[in-house]
Amino acid sequence: MWMWRYSSAALLLGVTAIVATNSTITAQDAAPPTFSKDVLPILQKSCQSCHRPGQIGPFSMLSYESTRPWARSIKSRVVSRQMPPWFADPHSGAFANDRSLNQADVDTVAKWVDAGAPQGDQRDAPPPVEWPADGWQIKPDLVVRGPEFRVPARPAKNVIEWANITVPSGFTEDTWITSLEIKPSDLTVTHHLCISFAPHRPNVRYYEWTWQESPRDEEGVATDRGATSGGAGAIRRAPGATTGGGFACYVPGVQADDYRPLHAAKLIPANADISFQVHYTPSGKEVVDRPLIGFTVADKAPEKQWISYVMSGAGPTFAIPPNEANYASPPAEAEFTADAWLVQMMPHMHLRGKDMTYRLTYPDGRSEVVLNVPKYDFNWQIVYQPAKPIFMPKGTRLRVDARYDNSAGNKFNPNPDSTVYPGRMTWEEMMAPFFSVVVDGKDDPGKVLKLRGLTVAGDGA
């Protein structure tokens, strides 16, 4: 009997403790999230890379004061999964730079806004992220000033053709660079800036603009079929075979290339030149863009080389019929002729782009999709970095497929009644999968990849 009474008392005590504990949990759950303790860590992890001064985000999320006026808009975009922008299918690979929010983070942001977006105790805030100064994503050791470009307010047919110019790099000795960032001064008019490194030629003409022009109809659509590297006049060559393992491009939203985590670098030979290819879009206001290129530099040769490529399936047969909602482009195909590790992928199409898929087929016959973007959005040019570099033994083949929506159901479509051909302007089309690999430091960058089928080299975005 005594034992029973003791057990009963213990049971009662335990029940009381459980009730008390549950009451504590309920009270804690009832407390709304605060900016300092709960929301700021989420913003640091997934939002501040774009939402800070000098970056593409329309407002800063570095502080409560700059974030609070946008609280309701933030909730709307986060709950609808429009922000942070991330379009990779999670069933086809994991990515090191995945900035999408899990459901717990989404719920935290929503509850914070619903509670009136309280700041909370500032002592609960994590230390601020030490972002590089002056809008840089890297902290450059060296900066090269690019050529100024005056963007007219209202050019004829609203077209500014692609332009090219060559400038000296300023590197007087062989230099291994370990990161690279192209930084326009005016993001509102910059469609893309691409650079490539080329051996110096005695007859090179510095600071002279040349133009990639096409005859155009009244709507600004090119009437020649060779208007891009993917057109009928394309040169069929291995992309990225220029000095230093190819080129680099800025497009809105893209992050700087940082080769350091993979112990890789790019070689810029002594006295090399830098060729710029630029594409600007008018905004109704005349502006001048003054781009900069920032580098970090290695003090010795690296273990691996980083090589950047772009190829195109938009060859001579590419033509999207009017009102076609699911046009399949000819594929872009290549084969690796040396062991390589795939470290970056960036799908690129224009306003009618619908989806893009990267698939590897290994020498043993095994095949896998390494990136699937089922809902492509031209407004966000996202580089996808595999969680671990994907090893591709010599003989591995890469195939990229893309589909397009030229129907009235595509809200971005400027004219569903037209046949759409490859072109340099946004209202024309591209099928340009970008990707980067690392290879052994002794490999020749020009002999790592060969194109297959009708695939051609891309030359821009």
Q: Is the pLDDT of residue 331 over 50?
A: yes
**Whose structure tokens read 């009618």?**
352
Q: Is the pLDDT of residue 242 over 70?
A: no
Cα–Cα dist 444/157, whole Å: 44
The per-residue DSSP string of 362-399 comes to -TTS-EEEEEEESS--TT--PPB-BSS-EEE-TT-EEE
Q: Which residue would you say has higher pLDDT here, 134 or 291?
A: 291
Q: Is the pLDDT of residue 418 over 80?
A: yes
Q: Is the pLDDT of residue 4 over 50?
A: no
Residue-level pLDDT at 417: 95
SS3 content of the chain, % helix, strand, coil (to 5): 20, 30, 50
In the chain, % of residues over pLDDT 90: 60
**Phi, then psi, of 29 in degrees rounded to 5:** -65, -30
Residue-level pLDDT at 460: 60
Extract the tokens encoding 388: 């671990």
**411 Rama sector, left if φ>0, alpha if ψ -120 to 50, beta otherwise:** alpha
Q: What number is the average pLDDT over the span 252-267?
A: 89
Class of domain 134-457: mainly beta
Q: Which residue would you say has higher pLDDT here, 231 or 28?
A: 28
pLDDT band at 306 (very low <50, low <70, confident <90, very high): very high
Residue-level pLDDT at 461: 63
**Phi, then psi, of 105 in degrees rounded to 5:** -65, -40
pLDDT band at 404 (very low <50, low <70, confident <90, very high): very high
Query: pLDDT tens-digit profile of 116-162?
Result: 999 999 999 999 999 888 889 899 999 999 999 999 999 988 888 88
pLDDT band at 7 (very low <50, low <70, confident <90, very high): very low
pLDDT band at 351 (very low <50, low <70, confident <90, very high): very high
Cα–Cα dist 190/381, whole Å: 13
Most confident of 6-15, 163-172, 245-254, 358-367: 358-367
Cα–Cα dist 257/459, whole Å: 18
Please report, for the chain, the start and end positions of each structural domain, with discontinuous segments joined by +. 12-131, 134-457
Residue-level pLDDT at 225: 59
CA distance readout (Å), 92 to 25, 330, 358 = 38, 22, 10
Whole-model pTM: value is 0.83
Cα–Cα dist 318/224, whole Å: 13
Residue-level pLDDT at 29: 55
Q: How high does pLDDT run on average in the chain?
A: 86
Residue-level pLDDT at 349: 94
Extract the tokens encoding 237: 């060559």
Residue-level pLDDT at 134: 85
Residue-level pLDDT at 159: 87
Inter-axis angle of helices 103-114 and 71-79, nearest 10: 150
Residue-level pLDDT at 233: 32
Residue-level pLDDT at 230: 42
Extract the tokens encoding 457: 């080299």
Specify whether the CB–CB gap between 138 and 60 falls below 8 A: no
Query: pLDDT tens-digit profile of 32-74?
Result: 999 999 999 999 999 998 898 878 888 999 999 999 999 999 9
Q: Is the pLDDT of residue 30 over 80?
A: no
